[in-house]
Structure 1
Amino acid sequence: MYRYDEFDRDFVSARVAQFRDQVERRLSGDISEDAFKPLRLMNGVYLQLHAYMLRVAIPYGTLSSKQMRMLAHIARKYDRGYGHFTTRQNIQYNWPKLGDIPDILEDLAGVEMHAIQTSGNCIRNVTADHFAGAAADEVADPRPYAEILRQWSSLHPEFSFLPRKFKIAVTAAENDRAAIQVHDIGLQLKKNDEGQIGFAVWIGGGQGRTPMIAKKIKDFLPEADLLSYVTAIMRVYNLHGRRDNKYKARIKILVHETGTEELAAQIEAEWAHLRDGELRLPDADVARITDYFAAPDLPARAEGWAELAAWKKADSGFASWVTQNVRPHRHPDYGMVTISLKPIGGIPGDASDAQMDAVADLAEQYSADEIRVTHEQNLVLPHVALADLEPLYRALQAEGLATANSGLVTDIIACPGLDYCALANARSIPVAQEISERFGDQARQEEIGDLKIKISGCINACGHHHVGHIGILGVEKKGAELYQITLGGSADENTSIGEIVGRGFEPEKVTDAIETIVSTYLSGRSGTDEAFIDYYRRVGAAPFKEALYGDKAEAA
């Protein structure tokens, strides 16, 4: 993985020293909270309902064991013994004391991490496929290009004060695991007919108050033109993006109001001035950064196949875990293991300091010292020999990390909601916990199959409810919490925005409503091979509305 050079170290250290001075002046009363707000946001510090929150960047979701141990140390020393992994492949600490945050940032700098540009109207943490560098179906590892974008965008003088926050995601397979079509810029790594590397470019996706699916504006952008073309997009957005209304400031609104063809033409005109200039990527620079992401040397472990078959036959729990949480690796003797942070009845995305330490140890022992964070709030060990799956499973069991539910109904995405967030209208965590407990039986989950539930506590959609197969949005109505349900959303290569099925449900009725939706699907599907999203796309919302609202379905 990428290692800091001298510039990186100096840059991050200088920022820590600068913020330490700013915090001291805030605590002494020399600057007000209003004056301090833009300074803390530049360093990933939010003021939540009960305390400050620190959001730490995990670029393209890649961690070493040493870095994970530092995250555990911070949780233990400065917080309440846990961290929350987010849908942007970051980690958040919900209870740090403001006076401790400079020390936290200094500790992070010691393991080549920071919190810069995890908030504010700038280019946020660049995300990527969590199976990058290991997946059998990828064209090439997308992380070197995410790193190039990170270096280019960090404190970019032209793009540090954009109309609104800006998010970029990169994937490298036809099966999109990075949700690129709900990003401001989505990049799909691909090869042309001559075998040259390039990108399909999407712009204008996003969720929040006005969810929109990105539009493809270029089918093949040559590798060398990556930075010049992205700069052209940013310049057009920076010039024309709305600054008079923050609810209409995202690039998705500019695409919608200007039109895809017209905006693409403006980007091409801007790019004409840039494409042959200093932003053109030299092959040597691409090769240098790509070398940081060289695949680990994985020896053949053919004995794993026979052992795996025997273990699965002997232990149904292990067999379920392998089926749900292990995916094929490019090396036939290895697998990519998802570590679920969704224990039945637990808080989605939370990990204790002890669990983070354990994952670090297991990554060192079994996964070439690599860990990934997914945008679905789980962790991944990307390089595990099949022969090591059984001892890994036992070790994860001991830490409460062996839940066999990746992609199933209890693998729920949820934002922190009203338990923490000052912007939320409703709680997300208790709703997720109750649904998880209702559907926690392993056999029942497997019968239901692939089903993604996503929950947000407000319209900002940090829980990605718009693209959940079942989405749940908490709203406030007459001083009480109410939950709106959407169906048919998806964040893969066939991205769709969920449809609101009718009036909302009180908190105590949400889980029963999900039960009704699931039962409707099970009774109507054409067979066990028809997944929920496929059934919904075949029949539409009508049978679900009828089941939820009965005679009042039409009015709802």
Structure 2
Amino acid sequence: MYQYDLIDKEFLADRSAEFRGQVARRLSGELTEDQFKPLRLMNGLYLQLHAYMLRVAIPYGSLNSTQARRLAQIARDFDKGYGHFTTRQNIQFNWIKLKDAPEILDKLAEVDLHAIQTSGNCIRNTTSDPYAGATAEEVDDPRVWSEVIRQWSTLHPEFSFLPRKFKIAITASAKDRTAAKVHDIGLMLRKGRDGTLGFEVIVGGGQGRTPYVGPTINEFLPTDRLLSYLEAVLRVYNRHGRRDNIYKARIKILVAALGAEEFARQVDEEWAKIDAARADLPTAELARIRAAFAKTPFETLPARSDAFETAKANDAAFARFVRNNVKPHKQPGYAIVEVSLKAQEQTPGDASAQQLEVVADLAERFSLNDLRVTHAQNLVLPHVKLDDLPTVFATLQASNLATPNIDLVSDIIACPGLDYCALANARAIPVAQDIARQFADLDRAEKVGELKIKISGCINACGHHHVAHIGILGVDKKGEEFYQLSLGGSGAEDASIGKILGPALPADKVATAVDQLVGAYLNVRNDGERFLDTYRRVGLEPFKEAVYAQAD
């Protein structure tokens, strides 16, 4: 894990002290809310429906146990006892008092955490693979490059006031766990035929009002030219991006307007003007950053664990957990463990202070002091010995953290919706809970298999509904909450935008409609087909008939 140096630490302390003064001026009335707004947003502080919300950056989704415990402390002392993990691998505290914000930032800075660039028209937290450094699928560790981008982009003077917010994702595996193709920039690490590493560069993906799967503008960018190329992309965007219309300000609109080929041409033209020696990362600096991730102290273990196999044979609940939440590790004798934050009746992505402390302890004792956040609003213990898995499972089970539903129907992504967000048209949390209750039978959920449901409370698509196998969008109809369903989206390596199923449904009909969609799928699927595969084979009509024919 990367360790902040003295400059990092002094900077965070200074930034926190600066914000303390700004808050004091706001509380005294010296600053109006309009004057204070850009200052608080630069420190991740939003004003929501009921209170201030603080969004804390978790760079590339990586935490140690000390940081996780500090987040638990903040949840307990300054919030209502919990935090909410987001689709950008960050955490939000939804009940913050303005007077407490400076003290919270001080406490975050003490453990190398902050809220900088979690808001505003700047480069946001870079999303990366939560299995980084643990999966055999990757061609390189994407955290190295995420850290490079973090250091390059933080308070970058040229890119701190972009036309609109800007989001980057990096993956190094064939299986994409970052939704790279629906980011402003998606970087997919590839290995060339000669063994050299390069990035496939995807630009102009996004969701919201106008969703796009981003086009590839560079098939193979040498890794040592990454920063100069990113600079060129952002300069073209900064030059041409719309600043007169917030709905047309994202880079996806520019790429769509120019066309991918013309946009790529302009990037190449700008790139040629950039002095590589100034812009690109020196080899020695890359080696320094890489060294922070290269020394994982794995033990030499047998590939088979008798304790693990015995527990799996004797405990059906443990065996189910292993089937759904435990993934292969690159190191023999280890496993990757996903911790679901989607227990029945739980708000998707929420973790209590006590639960945060439990996973912090598990990370420290059993996962080499390493904890990850996924863009699907779950947690990962990336380096657990097979021998230790029964103990880890029992501890998770005691804290309602052992729900065996990763990638199943109840593993729902949901934004906070109208329960918290001032922009939302409808609630998302109760709908997610209704669906989870509908599929409480774990045997049935496993029979259905991989099914990714994502819910957004408004068109801004913070719940990623456009790229869900079943997407659910909350809409306002004359003051009533209705929900529009879409099918066939994917945020993975086979990215696609879902198609609207039909007229929006009232809230009390959504879970039933999902049940009907699942029934239609089970009736027509071939052996081994996921819901998404079946949809792509048979199209929209069988599903539309299952939902709306009965309503007629």
TM-score normalised by the chain length of structure 2: 0.99
Q: Provide the residue aligned with 1:381 in structure 2.
A: 381
Q: Runs (4+) of structure 1 moved beyond 4 Å?
A: none
User: In 2, distance between residues paired with 1:509 and 1:125?
Assistant: 36
User: In 1, distance between residues paired with 2:165 and 2:236?
Assistant: 15
Q: Provide the residue aligned with 1:111 in structure 2.
A: 111
Q: Secondary structure at the match of 2:347?
A: coil
What residue identity is the alignment partner of 2:547? L
Q: Secondary structure at the match of 1:212?
A: coil
Q: Provide the residue aligned with 2:144 in structure 1.
A: 144
User: In 2, distance between residues paired with 1:329 and 1:418?
Assistant: 39
What residue identity is the alignment partner of 2:534? Y
User: In 1, distance between residues paired with 2:178 and 2:274?
Assistant: 28
How far does the alpha carbon of each residue in 1:474-529 deviate from its partner, in whole angstroms, 9 at most, with x for none? 000111101000000001110000000100000111111101100000111112x1
Q: What aligned pairs does 1:8-87 form with structure 2 within 5 A after superposition?
A: 8-87=8-87
Deviation at 1:270, TM superposition (A): 0.4
What residue identity is the alignment partner of 1:169? A
User: In 2, distance between residues paired with 1:191 and 1:532?
Assistant: 31
Give aligned-pair identity as a percent.
60
Deviation at 1:60, TM superposition (A): 0.2
Aligned residues of 1:52 and 1:95 also touching (Cα < 8 A): yes
Gaps of at least 5 residues in structure 1 are: none
User: In 1, distance between residues paired with 2:224 and 2:91?
Assistant: 32
Q: Provide the residue aligned with 1:88 in structure 2.
A: 88
Q: Secondary structure at the match of 1:277?
A: helix
User: In 2, distance between residues paired with 1:431 and 1:282?
Assistant: 50
Aligned residues of 1:187 and 1:200 also touching (Cα < 8 A): yes
Deviation at 1:307, TM superposition (A): 2.3
Structure 2 residue 533 is the aligned partner of structure 1 residue 534 = yes
Q: Secondary structure at the match of 1:491?
A: coil
What residue identity is the alignment partner of 2:67? Q
TM-score normalised by the chain length of structure 1: 0.98
Q: Provide the residue aligned with 2:441 in structure 1.
A: 441
How far does the alpha carbon of each residue in 1:222-259 deviate from its partner, in whole angstroms, 9 at most, with x for none? 11100000000000000000111110100000000011
Deviation at 1:283, TM superposition (A): 1.6
Aligned residues of 1:304 and 1:388 also touching (Cα < 8 A): no
Q: Which moved more, 1:299-308 or 1:489-498?
A: 299-308
Aligned residues of 1:415 and 1:463 also touching (Cα < 8 A): yes
User: In 2, distance between residues paired with 1:432 and 1:524?
Assistant: 25
Gaps of at least 5 residues in structure 2 are: none
User: In 2, distance between residues paired with 1:441 and 1:511?
Assistant: 14
Deviation at 1:295, TM superposition (A): 4.2
Deviation at 1:275, TM superposition (A): 5.2
What residue identity is the alignment partner of 2:384? V
Q: Provide the residue aligned with 2:371 in structure 1.
A: 371
Distance 1:31 1:300, change over 3 A: same
Deviation at 1:276, TM superposition (A): 2.5
Q: Which moved more, 1:287-296 or 1:470-479?
A: 287-296
Deviation at 1:279, TM superposition (A): 1.2
Q: Provide the residue aligned with 1:543 in structure 2.
A: 542
Aligned residues of 1:229 and 1:275 also touching (Cα < 8 A): no
Q: Secondary structure at the match of 2:423?
A: coil
Q: What aligned pairs does 1:125-274 form with structure 2 within 5 A after superposition?
A: 125-274=125-274
Q: Secondary structure at the match of 1:95?
A: strand
Structure 2 residue 547 is the aligned partner of structure 1 residue 522 = no
Q: Secondary structure at the match of 1:278?
A: helix
Q: Secondary structure at the match of 2:244?
A: coil
Q: What aligned pairs does 1:293-312 form with structure 2 within 5 A after superposition?
A: 293-302=293-302, 304-312=304-312
Aligned residues of 1:223 and 1:281 also touching (Cα < 8 A): no
Deviation at 1:96, TM superposition (A): 1.1
Q: Provide the residue aligned with 2:402 in structure 1.
A: 402
User: In 1, distance between residues paired with 2:551 and 2:242?
Assistant: 41
User: In 1, distance between residues paired with 2:277 and 2:309?
Assistant: 56
Deviation at 1:304, TM superposition (A): 4.7
How far does the alpha carbon of each residue in 1:24-53 deviate from its partner, in whole angstroms, 9 at most, with x for none? 000000010011000000000000000000
User: In 2, distance between residues paired with 1:376 and 1:233?
Assistant: 28
Distance 1:552 1:505, change over 3 A: closer
Aligned residues of 2:20 and 2:102 also touching (Cα < 8 A): yes
Deviation at 1:274, TM superposition (A): 1.4
Q: Secondary structure at the match of 2:136?
A: coil
User: In 1, distance between residues paired with 2:324 and 2:303?
Assistant: 22
Aligned residues of 1:468 and 1:490 also touching (Cα < 8 A): yes
Aligned residues of 1:467 and 1:497 also touching (Cα < 8 A): yes
Structure 2 residue 429 is the aligned partner of structure 1 residue 429 = yes
Q: Secondary structure at the match of 2:472?
A: strand
User: In 1, distance between residues paired with 2:357 and 2:535?
Assistant: 41
Q: Provide the residue aligned with 1:494 in structure 2.
A: 494
What residue identity is the alignment partner of 2:291? D
Aligned residues of 2:204 and 2:255 also touching (Cα < 8 A): yes
What residue identity is the alignment partner of 1:202? I
How far does the alpha carbon of each residue in 1:320-343 deviate from its partner, in whole angstroms, 9 at most, with x for none? 100100100001211100000000
Distance 1:296 1:200, change over 3 A: same
Q: What aligned pairs does 1:286-325 form with structure 2 within 5 A after superposition?
A: 286-302=286-302, 304-325=304-325
Deviation at 1:551, TM superposition (A): 8.5
Q: Which moved more, 1:501-510 or 1:267-276?
A: 267-276
User: In 1, distance between residues paired with 2:305 and 2:514?
Assistant: 39
Aligned residues of 2:425 and 2:458 also touching (Cα < 8 A): yes
Distance 1:523 1:275, change over 3 A: farther
User: In 2, distance between residues paired with 1:287 and 1:196?
Assistant: 16
Deviation at 1:452, TM superposition (A): 0.4
User: In 2, distance between residues paired with 1:476 and 1:328?
Assistant: 44
User: In 2, distance between residues paired with 1:470 and 1:234?
Assistant: 33
Deviation at 1:284, TM superposition (A): 1.2
Deviation at 1:280, TM superposition (A): 2.0
Distance 1:503 1:25, change over 3 A: same
User: In 2, distance between residues paired with 1:540 and 1:285?
Assistant: 51
Count of residues in correspondence between the two structures: 552
Aligned residues of 2:181 and 2:205 also touching (Cα < 8 A): yes
Q: Provide the residue aligned with 1:474 in structure 2.
A: 474
Computed over aligned residues only, the root mean square deviation of the Cα atoms, in angstroms, reads: 1.1
Q: Provide the residue aligned with 1:507 in structure 2.
A: 507
Deviation at 1:219, TM superposition (A): 1.0
Aligned residues of 1:488 and 1:537 also touching (Cα < 8 A): yes
Aligned residues of 2:303 and 2:332 also touching (Cα < 8 A): no
Q: Secondary structure at the match of 2:273?
A: coil
How far does the alpha carbon of each residue in 1:139-193 deviate from its partner, in whole angstroms, 9 at most, with x for none? 0100011111011111111111110000000000111111100000000112212
Aligned residues of 1:133 and 1:295 also touching (Cα < 8 A): no
Deviation at 1:197, TM superposition (A): 1.7
What residue identity is the alignment partner of 1:96? I
Q: Secondary structure at the match of 1:489?
A: coil
Deviation at 1:306, TM superposition (A): 2.5
Deviation at 1:6, TM superposition (A): 1.8
Q: Secondary structure at the match of 1:100?
A: helix
